[in-house]
Amino acid sequence: MRTHYCTDVTEKNIGEAVTVAGWVNSRRDHGGIIFIDLRDRGGIVQLVCDPQDSKEALEIAETVRDEFVLVAQGKVRARGEGLENPNLITGKIEIVVEKLVIENRSKPMPFDLGDEKVNEEIRLRNRFLELRTPKAFNIFKLRSKATIQVRNTLDELGFIDVETPILTKSTPEGARDYLVPSRVHPGEFYALPQSPQLFKQLLMVAGFDKYFQIAKCFRDEDLRADRQPEFTQIDVEMSFCNQEDVIKVAERLIYDVFTACGKEVPSTFPRIRYSEAMEKYGSDKPDLRFDMPMVDVIDIFANSTNEIFSEIAKDKKKNRIKALRCPNGDNIFSKRQMKSFEDYVRKFGAKGLGYFQMKEDGLKGPLTKFFSEADLEEIVKATQLEVGDVVFFGAGDKKTVWDYMGRFRLFLADQMQIIPEDKYEFVWVVDFPMFEVEDGRTKALHHPFTMPKSLDNIEDLEEIESVAYDIVLNGTELGGGSIRIHKEEIQEKVFELMGISKEEANEKFGFLLEALRYGAPSHGGFAMGLDRMVMLLAGTDSIRDVIAFPKTQKAQCLMTQAPSAVDNEQLKELSLRIRQPQA
Amino acid sequence: MRTHYCTDVTEKNIGEAVTVAGWVNSRRDHGGIIFIDLRDRGGIVQLVCDPQDSKEALEIAETVRDEFVLVAQGKVRARGEGLENPNLITGKIEIVVEKLVIENRSKPMPFDLGDEKVNEEIRLRNRFLELRTPKAFNIFKLRSKATIQVRNTLDELGFIDVETPILTKSTPEGARDYLVPSRVHPGEFYALPQSPQLFKQLLMVAGFDKYFQIAKCFRDEDLRADRQPEFTQIDVEMSFCNQEDVIKVAERLIYDVFTACGKEVPSTFPRIRYSEAMEKYGSDKPDLRFDMPMVDVIDIFANSTNEIFSEIAKDKKKNRIKALRCPNGDNIFSKRQMKSFEDYVRKFGAKGLGYFQMKEDGLKGPLTKFFSEADLEEIVKATQLEVGDVVFFGAGDKKTVWDYMGRFRLFLADQMQIIPEDKYEFVWVVDFPMFEVEDGRTKALHHPFTMPKSLDNIEDLEEIESVAYDIVLNGTELGGGSIRIHKEEIQEKVFELMGISKEEANEKFGFLLEALRYGAPSHGGFAMGLDRMVMLLAGTDSIRDVIAFPKTQKAQCLMTQAPSAVDNEQLKELSLRIRQPQA
């Protein structure tokens, strides 16, 4: 129907006859001549309906309203002098309409499409209208471009796109599964996959060698702002490989995708050991767009006459005392602000937050009295303090200190506005622990199919490292992976260390254990969150912006009203009954 | 780890050091030298372990069994004269092993991997082994290639890949939905989509203009051999278009995909009206690899003295009498066979199956006595009979005659072995009826969002045509689509004609009706079954061959044992109870 998209009509088309189609973005009447900004997915072009050119077109133009659908035929001409609009690609031309057709009418919009402050409920209920802006469209264009690049890069590297089932059995990610009742097998359920983890490992056992999929995954969790019940992941697995091989594929993939989307990124990324990331940044997803590392000062604080500090310093394995230098902080923050920081860290388990100010004549602050001159000098040296700086201290159990000091580091940087917006800082976090012991229960930090570096020494399970790696971008975990266990005996040992009985392992993963007995090759891979990647590429801060029909925090689709009640007949067919809430 | 895939090692590598990795396909001991056929996803290469080259490698080789995983390092050399294997790509060379590593062991296979006659249950239970053949791998390589081509072609044509939700509301395809109970909203359910139909229409209302998706769809139906509870469809929608525009995109897509997969197909396909397809081939998915059309002989039979025929011939609108010429049938089939054909058509509602034989001296057969000489001559002329042919007749209600005569046409052609195997005959079936009236109920033949050609004359609903089209390949429906209704008033009228109340329409599709009020553009599209397309490309006759982890006819995954029972705790969280079967 159309000959051009609106924004494809430019100076080079002057004098040509064109047909465009789209929505009325706005309409203005100037002395009997009607100007219409016509909008399609790319942007806007100006239509002119002048009775001198077409009386019929003008008459029709008089009846159009915002968001009517038009097809307009006419000649392209240069705008008059001084009438150009430098904000539009098409700002130097206009289309003199010869024929105008109203393809469809529109009621007045329920909200102003351009207004992002409109109540989210109204926007989500009318998502088909909210998406009707070039800004929204451009995000999905970017998403489409990114996914196609993912596929082409992996195809070029010899990976095969294989679809794994959506109706399947519980997967071992540990979150809650969405269940699907079976009609044919009363009382039985499928589970929607939390990831294709086991299937991709089985494809390696099948000898597929290099697999990928852009896979829908599902988790029935209480949603945080940046989570959705269904999400999309780039899923990759390969055989006969080591960590280096996998990282190379992931780096190539990220490089290609970001480059295709017009972002400059390096072709390889630095690496940091998990333990170093925790000690320096208090997080396994450090934001390295700024430095501000934490410094260990437990040895200095051991000499302190403050009993709390010296007590904590007694157990260096269990505890930490960390210093965080805030450059020029004494000049940036008021005393009251610095006090308020303590409230911030208390939310994350801190007992308090000590600090020193670096003045012309040395460290000042109420805590200095507990330290010798020499020790105070040591602190200045260790944290490289300069006059005007402030240094904060966190002390206590190491996991707690890492956590709140890591958060505080981000909080401070944000307050100081030192985090560059347009920078992409990637880092591989490597050498993750295999296990995490919490309340006496041993869990796999990644998942139980991750290859441990060694099981020779199992005295302290938390000391065992695994061949697992995460890719972190600007403090966000973009994805991660591992080399997997391909030997039955190692897999069994790992289950045993986690306290999973043979029966339980067999019931849950029997088919994987069985597969390992029939010539499983060494293999490994990774998964990356596509939604999150697109979010970072698009520079938006809500995952809902990059999902066409997102759900609310209560997992509802306000547009379709899903979930909803169903007929009793349907329940009967599924051999189900609704459990009435207890009074 | 490897330097080459097995089949990448050829004559040009002679003298080079290479490393390959894979599975032991077979092992032979010839006078103290061990030959191993090593297999990876591409195929086989021969390893030679000779004590003169490496005593260690030989010792290891002595311990390997079928399906052990090996990494072998060695030099490539030409095979000795007379020892070449012309059946292998690598048949001119072998690798003299210098270092051999057993990466993993294998129990003996539970079945012979190459044997396709093995019980399907055993094969599906061990799907990860069944897939371990280059033959299986090649199907998935083809599938991957086809899907990537789909994406690249549509991307090139300006279509945007958009993901629509899996957890959604019932869609209107009319089959049974799979339901997903909501934990957060007790007693409410999501439905898995039968297609993204409504979402893609909403994306058009959103102005996305050109959308595509390779989408997972779900139907909880009793499975036939060629159906799976979840399947994959290529889903396309575009705005400001007519049927011609959509067909052009589909033809380009098919051409590109088939060409990429090494198949020769034309770039445009013939079209046939729905009514012509039914009258000539008794099917809306005619197999045109052979012709054998049915011929209308109701006017001739009207003169017959047989009361059954003349009675049927009285209502030409309701009934049909069809002749099917079977070339040379009198010489191919025995009288007994021809009798047995009657049993075949009876299964599909035929009351009988008359036939004439064309002998040197004219038509013969028990029914000839009911016809005049002149009418018999008319029959010969109408069906272009030659000596040795047989002509079969079907008479009765038109839908029944179309159905059984259409099936019989296929059956006969199969018996006669006149269907060419390696031919791709595409045809567009166009001008579908909008409605189908069955037992007094009016249903949409495609779906209720299909644009009718006109609603001016609604006397006979079955006479109303729609702008709907199916693409048929070799008698299989590959896909189809339509121009959709973009005007609220037409959509409401269609619901009304189907006897759907405003309340029901609003409850089910309220959001679509609402969307049509806000400037919906004209739009249309199509969907094609990817699984079926790959099946036809791969030349296999089971949909399970092209799905990595398929389900049985009882919708079970024998490998993972899905579906399965779940904890009572999980049911409680979902506010569900299992309904115990009635005694």
Residue in chain B closest to A208 (alpha carbons) equals: B41
Q: Is the pLDDT of residue B79 over 80?
A: yes
CB contact under 8 A, A148 and B147: no
CB contact under 8 A, B207 and A22: yes
CB contact under 8 A, B189 and A242: no
Each residue's pLDDT tens digit, B403-415: 999 999 999 999 9
Q: Is the pLDDT of residue A440 over 90?
A: no
Q: Is the pLDDT of residue B562 over 90?
A: yes
Q: How far is CA B404 from CA A41, A132, B235, B324, B351, in A?
A: 50, 50, 32, 12, 10
CB contact under 8 A, B1 and A127: no
| B168 vs A: CB within 8 A | yes
Task: Give me the pLDDT at residue B93, please.
Answer: 96
Q: Which residues of B touch A570 (CB under 8 A)?
A: 177, 179
Which residue type, as a one-letter code, is found at position A283?
S
SS3 annotation, B398-459: HHHHHHHHHHHHHHHHHHHCCCCCCCCCEEEEECCECEEEECCEEEECCCCCECECCCCCCC
Q: Which residues of A touch B517 (CB under 8 A)?
A: 106-107
| Per-residue exposure over A92-127, b if at least 16 CB sit within 10 Å of its own CB, e if not | ebbbbbbebebbbbbeeeeeebeeeeeeeeebbbbb
For chain A, what percentages of helix, strand and coil (3-state, to nearest 5) are there? 35, 25, 40
Task: Give me the pLDDT at residue B5, please.
Answer: 97
Task: Give me the pLDDT at residue B171, please.
Answer: 64
**Cβ atoms of residues A252 and B201 within 8 Å:** no
- For B:241-270, CB contacts with A below 8 A are 241-242, 245
| A435 vs B: CB within 8 A | no
Does B504 carry a binding-site annotation?
Answer: no
Mean of the per-residue pLDDT values for chain B?
Answer: 94
| A156 vs B: CB within 8 A | no
CB contact under 8 A, B165 and A549: yes
Across B124-150, average pLDDT: 95
Which residue type, as a one-letter code, is found at position B408?
F
CB contact under 8 A, A131 and B206: yes
Q: Is the pLDDT of residue A583 over 60?
A: no
- For B:369-388, CB contacts with A below 8 A are none
Q: Is the pLDDT of residue B86 over 60?
A: yes
Report the first-to-last Cα separation within chain B, whole angstroms: 62
Across A228-255, average pLDDT: 97
The first and second tokens of residue A178, run together, are 């969405």
The count of other CB atoms within 10 Å of the CB of residue A174 is 11
Percent of chain A past pLDDT 70, that is, above it, reads 99
CB contact under 8 A, A579 and B579: no
Residue in chain B closest to A577 (alpha carbons) equals: B577
| A553 vs B: CB within 8 A | no
Task: Give me the pLDDT at residue B375, please.
Answer: 93
Half-sphere exposure at residue B554, Cβ-oriented, CA atoms within 13 angstroms? 12
Q: Which residues of B touch A22 (CB under 8 A)?
A: 207
Q: Kindly write down the DSSP assignment for every residue of B291-340, as one continuous string.
A: ---EEE-HHHHTT-S-HHHHHHTT-TTTEEEEEEEETTHHHHS-HHHHHH
- Closest Cα to residue B476, out of B547, B418, B533, B559? B533
The first and second tokens of residue A278, run together, are 């925790």
Each residue's pLDDT tens digit, B258-314: 999 999 999 999 999 999 999 999 999 999 999 999 999 999 999 999 999 999 999
Task: Identify which of B131, B152, B518 has the shortest CB distance to residue A67.
Answer: B518
Residue in chain A closest to B242 (alpha carbons) equals: A1
Task: Identify which of B144, B148, B518 has the shortest CB distance to residue A107.
Answer: B518
| B192 vs A: CB within 8 A | yes
Q: Which residues pair with A106 in a beta bridge?
A: B518
Mean of the per-residue pLDDT values for chain A?
Answer: 94
- For B:223-242, CB contacts with A below 8 A are 229-230, 232, 239-242
Half-sphere exposure at residue A434, Cβ-oriented, CA atoms within 13 angstroms? 27
Task: Identify which of A127, A137, A563 has the shortest CB distance to residue B207.
Answer: A137
Task: Identify which of B103, B207, B229 has the shortest CB distance to residue A23.
Answer: B207
Task: Identify which of B67, B103, B510 has the shortest CB distance to residue A518.
Answer: B67
Task: Give me the pLDDT at residue A348, please.
Answer: 96
Half-sphere exposure at residue A174, Cβ-oriented, CA atoms within 13 angstroms? 7
CB contact under 8 A, B69 and A520: yes
How close B91 gets to chain A, by Cα (Å)? 22
Q: Is the pLDDT of residue B582 over 70?
A: no
Does A530 carry a binding-site annotation?
Answer: yes
Q: Is the pLDDT of residue B481 over 80?
A: yes
**Cβ atoms of residues B524 and B481 within 8 Å:** yes
pLDDT, greater one: B222 or A410: A410
How close B275 gets to chain A, by Cα (Å)? 29
Task: Identify which of A169, A203, A520 has the shortest CB distance to residue B548.
Answer: A203
Task: Give me the pLDDT at residue A178, please.
Answer: 96
| A180 vs B: CB within 8 A | yes
Each residue's pLDDT tens digit, A472-491: 999 999 999 999 999 999 99
pLDDT, greater one: B582 or A463: A463
| B152 vs A: CB within 8 A | yes
Among B179, B200, B236, B246, the residue to mutate for chain A (most A Cβ within 10 A): B179
The count of other CB atoms within 10 Å of the CB of residue A26 is 12
Does B224 carry a binding-site annotation?
Answer: no
Q: Which residues of B touch A551 (CB under 8 A)?
A: 165, 167
Place of tokens 């992976």: A481
| A68 vs B: CB within 8 A | yes
CB contact under 8 A, A131 and B218: no
**Cβ atoms of residues A461 and A494 within 8 Å:** no
Ramachandran angles phi, psi of B260, nearest 5°: -60, -30
CB contact under 8 A, A152 and B147: no
Task: Give me the pLDDT at residue B322, please.
Answer: 97
How close B97 gets to chain A, by Cα (Å)? 18
CB contact under 8 A, A178 and B186: no
Among A204, A224, A507, A574, the residue to mutate for chain B (most B Cβ within 10 A): A574
List of domains in chain A: 6-104 (2.40.50.140), 135-268+446-547 (3.30.930.10), 290-419 (3.30.1360.30)
How close B146 gets to chain A, by Cα (Å)? 10
Does A447 carry a binding-site annotation?
Answer: no
CB contact under 8 A, A128 and B203: yes
**Cβ atoms of residues A488 and A206 within 8 Å:** no
Q: Is the pLDDT of residue B581 over 80?
A: no
- For A:84-113, CB contacts with B below 8 A are 103-107, 109
CB contact under 8 A, B160 and A140: yes
CB contact under 8 A, B581 and A186: yes
Q: Is the pLDDT of residue A115 over 90?
A: no
* Interface ipTM > 0.90: yes
CB contact under 8 A, B185 and A563: yes
Task: Give me the pLDDT at residue B439, please.
Answer: 86
Q: Which residues of B touch A188 (CB under 8 A)?
A: 563-566
Half-sphere exposure at residue A217, Cβ-oriented, CA atoms within 13 angstroms? 26
CA-to-CA distance for A238 and A522, rounded, in angstroms? 9
Chain A and chain B share a number of CB contacts under 8 A equal to: 359
Q: Is the pLDDT of residue B173 over 70?
A: no
Across A132-154, average pLDDT: 96
Does A221 carry a binding-site annotation?
Answer: yes
Q: Is the pLDDT of residue A170 over 80?
A: no
